[in-house]
Amino acid sequence: MQVAGRLDRLPLTRFHYRLLILSGLGWLFDSMDTGLVSFVLARLKVEWSLTPDQVALTGSAGLFGMFLGGALAGGLADRYGRKTMFQATLLIFSLATGLCAFAQGFWSLLLLRILVGFGLGGELPVAAALVSEFAPARHRGRLVVLLESFWAAGWAAAAVIADLLARFAAAQGSTFPWRAAFAIGALPAFYVFVLRRALPESPRYLAARGRDAEAEAILRQIETEAGVAPAAAAGPGNPEPIAHRPPRLGDLFAPGIRRRTAMLWILWFAMAYSYYGIFIWLPALLVGQGYAEVTSFRFTLYITLAQVPGYFAAAWLVEKIGRKATLAPFMILCAVASHFFGSARSDADVVLWGCLVSFFNLGAWGVTYGYTPELYPTWLRGTGTGSAAAFGRIGGIVAPIVVGKLVGAWGGGFGAVFTMFAVVLVAGAIGVLILGEETRGRTLEEISGH
Whole-number pLDDT of residue 235: 46
pLDDT at 103 over 70: yes
In the structure, what pLDDT confidence band is assigned to residue 450 with cuts at 50, 70 and 90? low
Whole-number pLDDT of residue 236: 45
Whole-number pLDDT of residue 72: 86
Residue-level length of the chain: 450
User: Which are the contacts of 430, defined by CB distance < 8 A and separation ≥ 6?
Assistant: none
Whole-number pLDDT of residue 233: 44
**How confident is the model over 276-303, as a mean pLDDT?**
76
Whole-number pLDDT of residue 256: 85
What's the domain range around 32?
Answer: 3-237+246-448
Q: What is the CATH number of the domain that holds 285?
A: 1.20.1250.20
pLDDT digits (tens, 9 = 90+) for 328-372: 999 999 999 999 988 888 888 888 999 999 999 999 998 998 899
**In Å, how far are 82, 87, 101, 191 from 207, measured between CA atoms?**
13, 21, 43, 27
Between 215 and 235, the higher pLDDT residue: 215
Distance CA 193, CA 437 (A): 39
Identify whether the C-beta of residue 386 lies closer than 8 Å to the C-beta of residue 71: yes
Q: Is residue 272 helix, strand or coil?
A: helix
Distance CA 450, CA 314 (A): 28
CA angle, corner 32, sides to 157 and 265, nearest 5?
A: 130
Whole-number pLDDT of residue 158: 86
**How many other CB atoms sit within 10 Å of the CB of residue 104?**
7
In the structure, what pLDDT confidence band is assigned to residue 238 with cuts at 50, 70 and 90? very low
Q: What is the mean pLDDT of the chain?
A: 85
Least confident window among 222-226, 247-251, 275-279 = 247-251
Whole-number pLDDT of residue 303: 86
Distance CA 360, CA 363 (A): 5
pLDDT at 219 over 50: yes
pLDDT digits (tens, 9 = 90+) for 155-196: 788 888 888 888 888 888 887 888 998 999 888 888 888 888
In the structure, what pLDDT confidence band is assigned to residue 237 with cuts at 50, 70 and 90? very low
Whole-number pLDDT of residue 330: 97
Identify whether the C-beta of residue 373 lies closer than 8 Å to the C-beta of residue 386: no
Whole-number pLDDT of residue 234: 46
pLDDT digits (tens, 9 = 90+) for 362-406: 999 989 988 998 898 888 888 898 899 889 989 988 888 888 788
Question: How many domains would you assign to the chain?
Answer: 1
pLDDT at 427 over 50: yes
pLDDT at 231 over 70: no
In the structure, what pLDDT confidence band is assigned to residue 314 with cuts at 50, 70 and 90? very high
Distance CA 207, CA 10 (A): 18
pLDDT at 424 over 90: yes
pLDDT digits (tens, 9 = 90+) for 109-157: 999 999 998 988 888 888 888 888 898 888 888 888 888 888 888 878 8
**How many other CB atoms sit within 10 Å of the CB of residue 292?**
12
In the structure, what pLDDT confidence band is assigned to residue 239 with cuts at 50, 70 and 90? low
